[in-house]
Amino acid sequence: MLRYTSRMQLRVNTYIDGDSFVHTCDARVKVLLLCAYTATVFWVETWVGQFLLGFLCLMLALSARVPLGRMLAMGIPVYMMAALTVLFASINSQVGFALGCFYGVRMILLILGSFVVVLTTTSTALTDALRSFVSPLRVLHVPVDDIAMVFSMAIRFIPLMAQEICAIHDAQFSRGASFHRGGLWQRVSAWPPVFIPLFVGMFRRADKLSVAMDARCYGARGGRRTSLRECRMTPASVAALAVGLGLLAVMALLL
């Protein structure tokens, strides 16, 4: 008799702890450089420029001691999209195989650059960077602190939802749910008993969170929310921003 065992695991924590300069660099600098890098990827029109951009991503990942295997594995869906881009470009005589490959590599460079930022920056640092970027909108009476708080809670709910999915999946599997056996319809029909309690549990968590936030006077007018750690730009981060922007600008203009 065959015995089926299943334990569902979802990896949602993308941050890799480290003490390299890429890790300690200000999150606002990394976000700004990522935006400039994205613009440069679209601006560069030569294979040499794309090679240099890929080499830059590789050097940053190696200096941050990011596992290249994990970073490359995260981009598998993008590789599939790039392959489809090359395929459809090859069919279209007006585009051609070479240009399709160029566009495919451009897609891969975009996602690899974002991976370098995500793998070396915590969600808290990204939230603080968002708050800093939108803080000038306070003069227009935009609820900057509330926007940053919503963004932070959305990020924090992702691992909670993943844990809930794994727990419900394992519970349903122990009750005989056929997630990996039978036909396609039998496998698909095994998932509604997972998603229904998942959504019920998430709404219950959200209700408890709203009560807790209301008890702590979140949303009260006339005050400004403070942070335990204030974002301060260090001279090293400023130098990294200047050097990075200058290097990307030269590559965009010459390549």
pLDDT in tens, 144-164: 777 777 777 777 777 777 778
Assigned token pair, 21:
């300069």
pTM of the model: 0.74
Least confident range of 8-22, 47-61, 114-128, 163-177: 8-22
Assigned token pair, 86:
């090359």
Summary mean pLDDT of the chain: 81
What confidence tier does 219 reach under pLDDT thresholds 50, 70, 90? Answer: low
What confidence tier does 222 reach under pLDDT thresholds 50, 70, 90? Answer: low
Percent of the chain at pLDDT above 90?
Answer: 8
**Do you know the residue count of the chain?**
255
The type of residue at 240 is A
Q: Tell me the domain boundaries of the chain.
A: 21-160+233-254
CA neighbor of 240 nearest in space, from 2, 37, 8, 9 = 37
If 0-12 CB within 10 Å is exposed, 13-18 middle and 19+ buried, where does residue 170 land? middle
Q: With 70 as the cut, is the pLDDT of residue 115 above it? A: yes
CA distance 135 to 137: 5
Least confident range of 29-38, 143-152, 243-252: 143-152
